[in-house]
């Protein structure tokens, strides 16, 4: 081999050397294209770009994979493409005893009449080898459904390469242990260009990505020495610059504002006095902190983030969802004190459906409105509670290591909250002694622990919170109260009252109407009824407070089905994110969470948790 061994703009010796010692390779090729091998793997997906293609951007169909080659399809480059592929294959065969080369191509509109659904043609050698991989790929592709049934055919060819081009590796130069297959895609829909519309193309790209991983998994486990634990383990194990840059930009924009602080009134105590003077007949006026940003400029920066450059489908999906979630929250903040805020809140936090409303009303009906529960014992003021909170943080530090969280007493908030990983305590707080442990585990054992567990991950969205995270976060926080024996019946009634209040707000009830219903119909103390109503009507009408009971209900169902608590503590996530986080764990992208709530070390808490795994309803958590 020549000293420089330049092939298609890359040093072939360097590529081979890196692969032999287990390193990854990512190189831009000449005259165009890319070689990406995340780490040595016994497969390589190839796409050759035709000189005149009716389908630009189709290389994205393979760039989702951990090992791919996207290169020019010019005849003048065929020999050098073959030289590059052969060099890579030889390394992989030496390492794994076998290697699969699968070429993906897209048929032009003139090649066949376009069906109404994706049409896949698997091209294999006359002997059908590797037979099991062909069968597995056929089975996976048949499940790629759009509007109509997907068609999959298998064709035997002496040269299993894309139509109209030379074979990637001819029979004479193909190393022993190397298997070559082709996959031709006839785009869906009668309009051969419509499949490239963003949504249709993205869907095809994602479903094909899964099918190709399955094929690589089955080939690896049956033909090679590699034994991946799961097909998802063959995905990318490291992030590219596009992912890191998008993550950084999204995190910076998210950190520009604190949604909860900016949507919470600063004058709740003064407004209570005003409301009481009106004999509870006139909605009080609320004031809010000024916005520290220009919403229009913030949105401009938000949509300048180039998520289309992300090759990893799982990360692209998460970031697209995060981008949309930030957009909606920015819109809500710019709509404070207008009817539009309410509609934005429903998009972000969801509504109250009839089953959730029925569960809330059951709690209100079955739990007495008057109870001596928690009436014994002293109350802690802000300083005393802050001291206990700092002791809890010290306990976590002693067990698990450095924790930057602080406890700060604030004059501009009405309730406990965690902001940017710090616990904020209202200066006028009065907390019953019976609720201290529960609140510590709610705020520190859940919100702070998941914040810093998320901060330990290689991307920052798990710290800031993925869209929809509030429901699981608050469900976990209320569960923590129960596990330490601090979820009182009065607390459950308040969570139920919040659900009823949100539903009434959605249905058009006024502030005064909701207050009176809680006061007169459900027998809440007037100050408690006021606090619930303020939370629901803050900003112009906020549906967030329904997530506590909804999240607890969903969490109990998850535990009753055998779900584990540990995956839920990795960061601020929703239950719907568990599949993609499972994907990232299998790829060893995520690290083990560094912090664990202290309540999981308590025998009573562990016993209660095990009991919930047998199945429980929210009403079962009420103390008898």
The counts of H helices and E strands in the chain are 22, 15
Predicted confidence at residue 1, as pLDDT, reads 42
Q: What is the pLDDT of residue 148?
A: 58
Q: What is the dihedral of CA 134, 140, 142, 148, to 10 degrees?
A: -150
* Arithmetic mean of pLDDT, 428-446: 95
Mean pLDDT check: name the lowest of 146-160, 387-401, 438-452. 146-160
Predicted confidence (pLDDT) per residue in 247-280, tens digit: 999 999 999 999 989 999 999 999 999 999 999 9
Chain-centre distance for alpha carbon 289: 30
At residue 623, the pLDDT reads 61
Report residue 279 as tokens.
């004999």
pLDDT at 572 over 50: yes
- Residue ranges matching CATH 3.40.630 in the chain: 6-235
Least confident of 372-381, 407-416, 449-458, 597-606: 372-381
CATH number of 6-235: 3.40.630
| Cα distance between residue 81 and residue 259, in whole Å | 53
What token pair was written down for 318?
Answer: 């998460």
Backbone φ, ψ for residue 35 (5° rounding): -110, 125
Res. 387: pLDDT tops 60: yes
Residue 375, pLDDT above cutoff 70:
no
How many CB atoms are located within 10 Å of the residue 415 CB? 13
Please give the residue that has the higher pLDDT: either 81 or 197.
81
Q: What is the pLDDT of residue 58?
A: 81
- Mean pLDDT for the stretch of residues 43-66: 83
pLDDT band at 506 (very low <50, low <70, confident <90, very high): very high
Asked whether 228 and 265 are in contact (CB, 8 A), the reply is no
Write down the pTM of the prediction: 0.87
Question: pLDDT (tens digit, 9 = 90+) per residue, 307-334?
Answer: 988 999 889 999 999 999 999 999 999 9
**Residues paired with 101 in a beta bridge:** 44, 180
Preceding amide of 130 cis, omega within 30: yes
CA 114 – CA 478 distance, rounded (Å): 54
Concatenating the DSSP letter of every residue in 460-515 gives THHHH--TTHHHHHHHHHHHHHHHTT---HHHHHHHHHHHHHHHHHHTT--HHHHH
CA-nearest of 548, 520, 549, 545 to 531 is: 545
Q: Is the pLDDT of residue 191 over 70?
A: no
pLDDT of residue 142: 86
CB 13 within 8 A of CB 1: yes
Average pLDDT of the residues in 8-36 = 94
- Lowest-confidence range among 351-355, 413-417, 537-541? 413-417
Q: What is the mean pLDDT of the chain?
A: 90
């Amino acid at each position: 081999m020549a000293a420089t061994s330049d092939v298609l703009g890359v040093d072939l010796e360097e590529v081979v050397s890196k692969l032999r010692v287990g390193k990854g390779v990512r190189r831009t090729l000449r005259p165009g294209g890319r070689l990406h091998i995340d780490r040595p793997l016994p497969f390589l997906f190839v796409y050759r770009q035709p000189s005149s293609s009716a389908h630009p951007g189709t290389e994205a169909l393979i760039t989702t994979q951990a090992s791919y080659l996207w290169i020019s399809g010019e005849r003048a480059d065929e020999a050098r493409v073959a030289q590059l592929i052969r060099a890579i294959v030889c390394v992989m065969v030496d390492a794994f005893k076998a290697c699969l080369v699968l070429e993906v191509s897209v048929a032009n509109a003139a090649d066949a009449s376009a069906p109404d659904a994706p049409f896949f043609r698997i091209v294999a050698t006359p002997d059908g080898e590797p037979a099991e991989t062909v069968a597995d790929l056929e089975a996976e592709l048949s499940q790629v459904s759009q509007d109509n049934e997907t068609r999959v055919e298998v064709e035997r060819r002496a040269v299993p390469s894309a139509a109209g081009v030379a074979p990637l590796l001819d029979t004479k130069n193909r190393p022993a242990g190397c298997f070559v297959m082709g996959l031709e895609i006839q785009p869906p829909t009668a309009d051969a260009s419509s499949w490239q519309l963003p949504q249709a193309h993205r869907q095809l790209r994602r479903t094909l990505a899964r099918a190709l991983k399955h094929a690589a998994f089955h080939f690896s486990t049956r033909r090679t020495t590699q034994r991946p634990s799961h097909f998802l383990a063959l995905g990318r194990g490291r992030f590219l610059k596009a992912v890191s840059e998008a993550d950084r930009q999204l995190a910076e924009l998210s950190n520009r504002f604190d949604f909860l602080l900016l949507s919470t009134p600063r004058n709740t105590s003064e407004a209570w006095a005003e409301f009481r003077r009106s004999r509870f007949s006139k909605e009080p006026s609320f004031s809010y902190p000024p916005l520290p940003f220009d919403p229009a400029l913030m949105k401009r920066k938000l949509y300048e983030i180039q998520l289309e450059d992300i090759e990893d489908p799982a990360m692209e999906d998460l970031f697209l969802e995060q981008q949309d979630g930030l957009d909606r929250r920015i819109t809500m903040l710019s709509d404070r004190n207008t009817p539009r805020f309410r509609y934005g809140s429903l998009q972000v936090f969801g509504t109250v459906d009839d089953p959730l409303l029925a569960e809330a009303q059951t709690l209100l009906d079955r739990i007495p409105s008057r109870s001596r529960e928690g009436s014994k014992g002293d109350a802690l003021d802000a300083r005393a509670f802050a001291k206990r909170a700092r002791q809890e943080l010290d306990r976590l530090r002693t067990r698990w290591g450095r924790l930057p969280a602080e406890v700060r007493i604030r004059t501009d908030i009405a309730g406990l909250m965690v902001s940017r990983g710090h616990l904020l305590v209202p200066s006028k707080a009065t907390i019953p002694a019976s609720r201290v442990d529960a609140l510590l585990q709610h705020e520190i054992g859940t919100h702070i622990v998941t914040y810093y567990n998320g901060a330990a991950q290689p991307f920052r969205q798990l710290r800031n919170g993925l869209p929809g995270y509030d429901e699981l976060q608050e469900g976990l926080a209320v569960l923590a109260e129960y596990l330490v024996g601090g979820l009182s019946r009065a607390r459950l009634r308040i969570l139920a009252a919040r659900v009823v209040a949100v539903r009434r707000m959605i249905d058009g009830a006024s502030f005064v109407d909701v207050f009176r219903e809680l006061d007169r119909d459900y027998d809440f103390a007037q100050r408690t009824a006021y606090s619930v109503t303020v939370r629901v009507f803050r900003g112009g009408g906020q549906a967030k407070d329904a997530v506590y009971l909804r999240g607890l209900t969903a969490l109990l169902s998850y535990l009753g089905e055998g779900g584990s608590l540990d995956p839920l503590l990795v960061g601020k996530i929703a239950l719907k994110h568990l599949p993609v986080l499972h994907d990232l764990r299998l790829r060893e992208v995520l690290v083990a969470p560094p912090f664990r709530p202290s309540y999981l070390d308590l025998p009573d808490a562990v016993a209660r948790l095990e009991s919930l795994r047998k199945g429980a309803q929210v009403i079962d958590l009420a103390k008898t």
